[in-house]
Chain A
Amino acid sequence: MTSTATMPQPASFGRRLKRFMADRPLIPLIILLVILVLILQVLRPGIVNERWIANTAKFAIPLAILAGCQTMTMLTSGIDLSVGTVATMSAFIMATQIVNQDPTVAFILAMLPAVLIGLVNGIGVGVFRVHPLIMTLGTSLIGTGFLQVYQRTVIASGARIPDFLNWLGTGLTYGFPNALFLFVPVAVLIVFTLNRTGFGRLLYAVGDNERAARLSGVRYWQVITALYVISSLLAGITGLLYIGLIKAPSLSLAEPLVLPSVAAAVIGGTSIFGGRGGYTGTIVGALILTVLTTLLTILHMPEGGRRILFGFIVLFVTAAYLRIIEDR
């Protein structure tokens, strides 16, 4: 109190800084990312090199795409918890079908459950008004069950990772991870859709004020159905990329990414109440989470301690960030 009264200069600078960050919400995020990388470099001098960056990007990309699903659904005040199951299904089906099938057929078979689950999610949320949390959790459980049944039928034939997915998941071109060939177009497409297409505008409008959207002639169920199908398709593609990276098909392959994908979108400034946010913040959010994971790994903490710290940091960062950007 006294400091603001006697020295008005620094206070007004602080307010101006806050205002500046409120108008450009990406900047504090990038600053946070740089700080994390610097801490890492101080703790382990020399760790931050070309190889480390490529490696970080490889692990951040699947998370970032799934976080894209969360961003888009969260804009409509929804959420998609089935992305983990969908990614796992498409990865597992791809790895087992490629053994006997043509790659194209295997790809189509792998994407089929994604489309189906997306459609069911969309109709459940958009037409029958089931809460997205419950709807996608339900389809996620059902999908996992089907996958277990399916696994019995393919035990004999075994599994294999297609070369192309190996190349995409782990390969480098001039030091850049090949996954960028997939990620850059996907990211551009998501950003373009959100900012420059009618569909993107409707996502924001529906999430901000569904009644206003309705009075403007928007049919909620159409938007929501399309949204959840797109979200599921992205998750399916992420599954294919992820199996190329992990190289071990399992029934819980992408499950660990689900909640971090929600966290990445929230850290990136997308409101879970809808209508506010964007994909660029989410990408930085996914990078922050990935770097944070590395940071906690090199601290040689026991797994339990790591998780506790991870949880605290995510909570703290999100709360602090929201305070900064929502200053009005």
Chain B
Amino acid sequence: MSRWIENALTTNPLLDASGVAKNYGAVAALRNASLSVLPGEVHALMGANGAGKSTLVKILTGAIQADAGRVLIRGEARDVRSPAAARRAGLLPVYQEPALIPDLDVLSNLRLTGTPVEPFRAWVRELGIPNLDIRETARDIPLAVLRVLDLACALAVEPDVLLLDEMTAALPANLAEKVLEVVRRQGDSGRSVIFISHRFVEISALCDRATVLRDGATVGVVDIEPGVEEKIVEMMLGARIEKVSVAAARVASQAAAAQDSRPRLVVRNLQLGTKLNDVSFDLANGEVAGVVALEGQGQDELFAALAGSIRPGGGTIAVDGSPVQFSHPSDAIQAGIAYVPGDRTEALAMQRSVRENIALPFSAALRKWGPIRVRREHMVVSSAIARLQIDTRAQSEVQRLSGGNQQKVTIARWIAADARTILCFDPTRGIDVGTKQEIYKLLRELAGLGKSVLFYTSELEEVQRVCDRVIVIFGGRVVDTLPVELADEPALMRAAYGLPRGAREDVGFLADVRPASDAEAAP
């Protein structure tokens, strides 16, 4: 740590980006982001979902071009127009997705990128993989090892600035430790590392400073020291800590739920690959249960397993008290569980009409393949359209509808089909405020009718508007279940980062050793 302090006093930053902005249409992904990395520094880049981390990374590595702002590398203005240009400038990223071409062996991959082989081998050994066969096809290599190989590739070309995106995700504990060790030494040897992670434990052990992004702007640069995580969480939340009043409608539905004591859905010890380690929770009738997690903590897999899209590797799911095994989404639908995916293009037949899209589940079963009862279907569909107030002016093709209306169609489908449980995966992502309000209201109404909703959201403030309870997932485990009264944004943010409840009063998280609940303790 001392080296970077010396450098801070004597040297100019190795990488200095300021005023970076990027718009996608009317949406500002970045407004005013800055990042300054000193030589020999390990610098954390932090921010909640959608704060603009990935956009900034893409701009720095030349994958996309900024609309405004300037990037200085070693004090020189550089216009990084492509990943190759970033590489020449000494900036090398390692992304979450493996970068090796699956159908080539490791050696061919190295040749393709012009990576020197001997240093690569040395780094691979250093990173804890003693016997790698570089003739092996990348496809046959396990994911965790591939990620380490990506890192070794990057290290072998000796970049000035190494950019690591969630480097330790999907790594077993022994490999993760080696990686952290190597990254640490990278800093000591005078090179810089930009380290993106959701894990405070790693950041505290590794990083010198952290830049915090919120809503597309840099809101602060802090030195990592004991107790700083509270400060970072506050920065990520900004001024949004005002309380949202808990809706009164909730009391009624909770009373209804209390009458029917048997839970609608019981999930126990659900496990799936490396993504879901141990998820258990109940979902009651008449309840909206929120799910909060940072990106890639296993929530996608949880919803897919409950919807019957993928089969879990272990654990049990019980519906109304009887255990079930879904091998196809139609099994889940049979059990009254419907899934509304976050990506609308996944759920809609874009060239077909609004009515056909809503009525699609009616025809799915083999015995429903015959003539359609046009009038009855028209009635059911019309009432669903009216209920959700879908704008049907452009109803002949769903693709002509606005995003909000498309999202309403995906939900209306299951209102029409009268599903008893709806799994909503981030249904309000990228839609207008008015439609968001309507969806909140609708979900509450459904709960009032005794239906149950599992509601994943990436916008924490939605939790107190919609949910009765919130389940927090981190590293493929349920790390906390909060009643809605306690689930304000700071509490959720802390929980989502795996910090214990009420950490504010603790001496400081950084004083702890790695806790047992951490994801790396997986078998």
Contact = CB atoms under 8 A, between A and B. Distances in A.
Q: Do A and B come from one complex?
A: yes
Interface string A191-229: 010001111011011001101111111110010001000
Contacts of A217: 328-330, 333-334, 361, 364-365
Q: Describe A's contact surface by its main secondary structure.
A: helix
Given A212-B346, A216-B360, A219-B328, A202 B341 contact: no
Contacts of B334: 217
Most buried by A among B341, B363, B365, B366: B363
A219 B352 contact: no
A25 to B, nearest CB: 13
B368 A275 contact: no
B350 A196 contact: no
Contacts of A208: 349-352
Contacts of B166: none
Interface residues of A, number: 24
Contacts of A131: none
Nearest to B361: A216
A198 B368 contact: yes
Interface string B197-233: 0000000000000000000000000000000000000
Contacts of A216: 329, 333, 360-361, 364, 413
Contacts of B329: 214-217
Interface string B348-385: 11111000100111111110111110100000000000
Given A201-B356, A217-B361, A209 B350 contact: yes
A217 B359 CA distance: 12
B374 A196 contact: yes
A201 B328 CA distance: 20
B348 A209 contact: yes
Most buried by A among B346, B352, B362: B352
Interface string A304-322: 0000000000000000000
B346 A201 contact: no
B328 A204 contact: no
A276 interface: yes
Contacts of A196: 371-372, 374
Interface string A10-42: 000000000000000000000000000000000
Given A213-B349, A275-B349, A201 B330 contact: no
Contacts of A226: 369
A216 B413 CA distance: 9
A158 B359 CA distance: 54
A208 B356 CA distance: 12
Interface of B: 307, 309, 328-330, 333-334, 339, 341, 345-352, 356, 359-366, 368-372, 374, 413
Interface of A: 192, 196-199, 201-202, 204-205, 208-209, 211-219, 222, 226, 275-276
Nearest 3 CB-CB pairs, A to B? Answer: A198-B363, A217-B330, A208-B349
Given A197-B369, A205-B352, 10 more contacts: A197-B370, A198-B362, A198-B369, A198-B371, A201-B356, A212-B348, A214-B328, A217-B334, A217-B361, A219-B330
21 contacts: A196-B374, A198-B371, A198-B372, A199-B370, A201-B356, A201-B363, A204-B352, A204-B356, A205-B360, A208-B351, A209-B345, A209-B346, A212-B360, A216-B333, A218-B363, A218-B364, A219-B328, A219-B364, A222-B366, A275-B349, A275-B352
